[in-house]
A and B are shown apart, each in its own frame.
Chain A
Amino acid sequence: MQTDPAREDPELLTAVAGGDLGAMRVLYDRHAPWLSARLTRRCNSPEAVADVLQDTFVAVWKGAERWRGDGEVAAWLWGIAIRRLVSRLRGRREVLVLPLEEVVAARAPQASAEEMVLLGVEYGDLGAALQRLSPDMRAVVQATVLDGLTTREAARLLGIPANTAKTRLHRAKAQLRQNLTEGLA
Chain B
Amino acid sequence: MKAPWHADDDLLTRYVHGTVGPLDGVSLEQHLTGCADCRVRIATHVDVAPLELVWTRVREQVQAPAPSLVERLLTRFGVSEPDARIVAVAPSLRTSWLLGLAVTLGFVGLGTANGGTRGLTFFLLVAPLVPVAGVAFAYGPDVDPSYEVSVAVPYSAARLLLLRTAAVLATSLPLVLMAALLVPGLSWTAVSWLLPALAFTAVILAVSTWTRPTFAGVGLGIAWACVVGTAALDRDPYAVLAPTPLLVYAATGIAAALVLRLRIRRLTPLGSLS
Cβ–Cβ contact A33 & B46, under 8 A: yes
Q: Is the CB of B23 within 8 A of A54?
A: no
When the two chains form their complex, are residues A21 and B21 in contact, meaning their CB atoms are under 8 A apart? no
Q: Are A118 and B40 in contact (CB under 8 A)?
A: no
A3, B44: Cα distance in complex, Å = 13
Interface stretch among A86-94, A104-112, A150-158?
A104-112
Alpha-carbon separation in the docked complex, A118 to B29 (Å): 12
Residues of chain B with a CB closer than 8 A to A122's CB? 27, 30-31
Across the interface, A72 reaches (CB within 8 A) one of B4, B25, B34, B43, namely B34
Are A58 and B21 in contact, with the CB atoms below 8 A?
no
Q: Measured between alpha carbons, how far is A58 from B46 in the docked complex, in Å?
A: 21
B99 at the interface (CB under 8 A from A): no
Report which of B33, B45, B54 forms a contact with A53, defined as CB distance below 8 A: B54
Indicate which residue in B22, B30, B39, B44 contacts A100 across the interface (CB closer than 8 Å): B22
The count of residues in chain B whose C-beta lies closer than 8 Å to any C-beta of chain A is 41
Q: Which residue of A lies closest to B32 (CB)?
A: A34
B244 interface residue per 8 A CB criterion: no
A32 lies within 8 A of B40 (CB): no
User: What is the CA–CA distance of A119 and B34 in the complex, to the nearest angstrom?
Assistant: 16
**Could you tell me if B19 and A58 are in contact, using CB atoms closer than 8 angstroms?**
no
Knowing A21-B59, A33-B43, the reply to whether A78 touches B31 (Cβ < 8 A) is no
Query: Across the two chains, which residue of chain A brings its CB closest to B43?
Result: A33
CA distance A111 to B27 in the complex (A): 14
Please give the distance in Å from B51's CB to the nearest CB on chain A: 5
A65: interface (CB < 8 Å)? no
Category for how many chain A residues contact B:
35 or more
Q: Is the CB of B42 within 8 A of A34?
A: yes
CA distance A123 to B22 in the complex (A): 13
Interface core residue of B4, B15, B27, B31 (most chain A CB under 10 Å): B27
Partner of B33, one of A25, A74, A98, A115: A74
Say whether B40 contacts A24, CB under 8 Å. no
Q: Is B40 within 8 A of A30, CB to CB?
A: yes
In the complex, which of the residues A25, A34, A58, A123 has the most CB atoms of chain B within 10 Å of its own CB atom? A34
In the assembly, what is the distance between CA of A127 and CA of B34, in Å?
A: 18
CA distance A31 to B42 in the complex (A): 10
B24 in the interface, Cβ–Cβ < 8 Å?
A: yes
Given contacts A54-B58, A58-B62, A146-B29, contact A107 B53 (CB under 8 A): no
Residue from the list B5, B21, B46, B61 in contact with A104, Cβ < 8 A: B21
The smallest C-beta distance from A157 to any residue of chain B, in angstroms, reads: 15
Q: Is A38 an interface residue (CB 8 A)?
A: yes
A53 to B54, CA, bound (A): 7
A78 to B34, CA, bound (A): 12
Are A121 and B21 in contact, CB atoms less than 8 angstroms apart?
A: no
- In the complex, besides A34-B39, A38-B29, A57-B54, 10 extra interface pairs with C-beta distance below 8 angstroms are A1-B43, A30-B40, A33-B51, A34-B43, A37-B16, A58-B61, A98-B18, A123-B27, A130-B23, A142-B22
- 6 residue pairs of the A-B complex, CB under 8 angstroms, read A30-B36, A37-B42, A98-B18, A103-B22, A121-B4, A122-B31
* B-to-A contact residues, CB < 8 Å: 4-5, 11, 15-16, 18-27, 29-34, 36-37, 39-40, 42-46, 50-51, 53-55, 57-59, 61-63
Q: 3 tightest A-B contacts by CB?
A: A33-B43, A33-B46, A122-B27
